[in-house]
Chains A and B, each alone.
Chain A
Amino acid sequence: MTFPASIREASSPSPLLSVEDLTVRVGPEPDAPALIENVSLSIAPGETLGLVGESGSGKTTTGMAIMRLLPQALDRGMHGRILYQGDDVAAMDAKQLSGVRGGEISMILQDPMASLNPVFSIGSQLKEGLRRHATGEGSLHERAVRALDDVRIPSPEARLANFPHQMSGGMRQRVVGAISLARAPKLLIADEPTTSLDVTIQYQFLELLKALQQRLGMAMLFITHDFGVVARMCDRVAVMYAGQIVEEGPVRDIFRRPAHWYTRALLDSVPTVNSSLERLPTIPGSPPHVGARPQGCRFHPRCANAQARCQEPPPITGAGTGRAVRCWFPLDSERTIA
Chain B
Amino acid sequence: MSAPILSAEGIGRVFSVRHHGRQHSLHAVTDVALALQPGRTLGVVGESGCGKTTLNRMLLMLDTPTTGTVRFGGTPLAELSKAQRQEFRRAVQPVFQNPFSSLDPRMWVGGIVAEPLSTIPGLTRKDIDQRVGEVLEAVGLRAADAKRFPSEFSGGQRQRIAIARAIASRPRVLMLDEPVSSQDISIRAQILNLLKDLQDEYGLGCVFISHDLATVRFMAHEVIVMYLGRVIERGAAAAICTAPSHPYTKALLAAALPPDPDAPPPELPPRGELPSPLVPPGGCAYHTRCPLAMEVCARIRPADLAAPHGGSAACHLLDPELAQ
A252 to chain B, nearest CB (A): 5
Assembled-state Cα–Cα distance A271/B251 (Å):
19
Contacting residues of chain A (244-298) with chain B, CB-CB under 8 angstroms: 251-252, 255, 265-267, 269-284, 286-287
Interface residues of B (CB under 8 A from A): 47-48, 154-157, 184-190, 192-193, 196, 211-215, 217-218, 238, 241-242, 251-263, 269-271, 273-274
A204 to chain B, nearest CB (A): 6
Chain A's closest residue to B262 (CB) is A252
Return the 3 tightest CB-CB contacts between A and B, nearest first: A228-B257, A200-B270, A227-B259
Assembled-state Cα–Cα distance A280/B254 (Å):
22
Residue in B254, B259, B262 whose beta carbon sits within 8 Å of that of A267 in the complex: B259
Assembled-state Cα–Cα distance A201/B260 (Å):
20
Chain B's closest residue to A207 (CB) is B269
Residues of A within 8 A of B252 (CB): 199-200
Residue in B184, B196, B215, B261 whose beta carbon sits within 8 Å of that of A55 in the complex: B184
A–B pairs, 21, beta carbons within 8 Å: A54-B186, A200-B252, A201-B270, A203-B255, A228-B258, A231-B261, A266-B186, A270-B188, A270-B259, A271-B192, A273-B214, A273-B241, A273-B258, A275-B217, A277-B218, A280-B193, A281-B189, A282-B186, A282-B193, A287-B184, A287-B186
Residues of A within 8 A of B217 (CB): 271-273, 275-276
- Whether the Cβ atoms of B185 and A198 lie closer than 8 Å is no
Instruction: Decide yes or no whether A225 CB sits under 8 A from chain B.
Output: yes
- Whether the Cβ atoms of B47 and A286 lie closer than 8 Å is no
* Total chain A interface residues with beta-carbon distance under 8 A: 47
Residues of B within 8 A of A267 (CB): 259
Instruction: Decide yes or no whether A132 CB sits under 8 A from chain B.
Output: no
Residues of B within 8 A of A226 (CB): 257
Assembled-state Cα–Cα distance A252/B260 (Å):
8
- Whether the Cβ atoms of B189 and A269 lie closer than 8 Å is yes
Chain B's closest residue to A200 (CB) is B270
- Whether the Cβ atoms of A200 and B156 lie closer than 8 Å is no
Chain B's closest residue to A154 (CB) is B273
- Whether the Cβ atoms of A272 and B186 lie closer than 8 Å is no
If A200-B47, A203-B269 touch, does A286 touch B187 (CB 8 Å cutoff)?
Answer: yes
- Whether the Cβ atoms of A200 and B257 lie closer than 8 Å is no
Assembled-state Cα–Cα distance A205/B186 (Å):
26
Known: A206-B257, A270-B185, A270-B259. 9 other contacts (CB 8 A): A168-B274, A199-B211, A231-B257, A255-B260, A266-B186, A272-B217, A276-B217, A286-B156, A337-B259
Assembled-state Cα–Cα distance A270/B186 (Å):
8
Residue in B155, B185, B189, B256 whose beta carbon sits within 8 Å of that of A273 in the complex: B256
Instruction: Decide yes or no whether A311 CB sits under 8 A from chain B.
Output: no
If A203-B254, A276-B238 touch, does A271 touch B218 (CB 8 Å cutoff)?
Answer: yes
Residues of A within 8 A of B270 (CB): 199-201, 203-204
Instruction: Decide yes or no whether A223 CB sits under 8 A from chain B.
Output: no
Residues of B within 8 A of A198 (CB): 47-48, 211, 274
If A231-B258, A273-B256 touch, does A286 touch B251 (CB 8 Å cutoff)?
Answer: no
Residue in A252, A266, A279, A287 whose beta carbon sits within 8 Å of that of B261 in the complex: A252
Residues of A within 8 A of B188 (CB): 269-270
B65 to chain A, nearest CB (A): 25
Assembled-state Cα–Cα distance A170/B188 (Å):
26
Binary interface encoding of chain A residues 23-54 relative to chain B, with 1 for a CB under 8 A from any of its CBs, else 0: 00000000000000000000000000000001
- Whether the Cβ atoms of B242 and A274 lie closer than 8 Å is yes
Residue in B184, B189, B241 whose beta carbon sits within 8 Å of that of A280 in the complex: B189
Residue in A203, A269, A283, A337 whose beta carbon sits within 8 Å of that of B257 in the complex: A203
B148 to chain A, nearest CB (A): 16
Chain A's closest residue to B261 (CB) is A231
- Whether the Cβ atoms of A269 and B186 lie closer than 8 Å is yes
Residue in B184, B242, B254 whose beta carbon sits within 8 Å of that of A286 in the complex: B184
A26 to chain B, nearest CB (A): 19
The winner among B214, B241, B259 for most chain A CB atoms within 10 A is B259
A242 to chain B, nearest CB (A): 12
If A198-B47, A202-B255, A272-B214 touch, does A54 touch B185 (CB 8 Å cutoff)?
Answer: yes
If A252-B261, A272-B214, A272-B258 touch, does A225 touch B185 (CB 8 Å cutoff)?
Answer: yes
- Whether the Cβ atoms of B241 and A286 lie closer than 8 Å is no
If A200-B255, A201-B273, A286-B154 touch, does A251 touch B261 (CB 8 Å cutoff)?
Answer: yes
Residues of A within 8 A of B193 (CB): 279-280, 282
- Whether the Cβ atoms of A199 and B186 lie closer than 8 Å is no
- Whether the Cβ atoms of A199 and B212 lie closer than 8 Å is yes
Assembled-state Cα–Cα distance A98/B257 (Å):
36
Assembled-state Cα–Cα distance A105/B83 (Å):
64
Chain A's closest residue to B196 (CB) is A279
Residues of B within 8 A of A252 (CB): 261-262
Chain B's closest residue to A269 (CB) is B189
B214 to chain A, nearest CB (A): 5
Residues of B within 8 A of A270 (CB): 185, 188-189, 214, 259
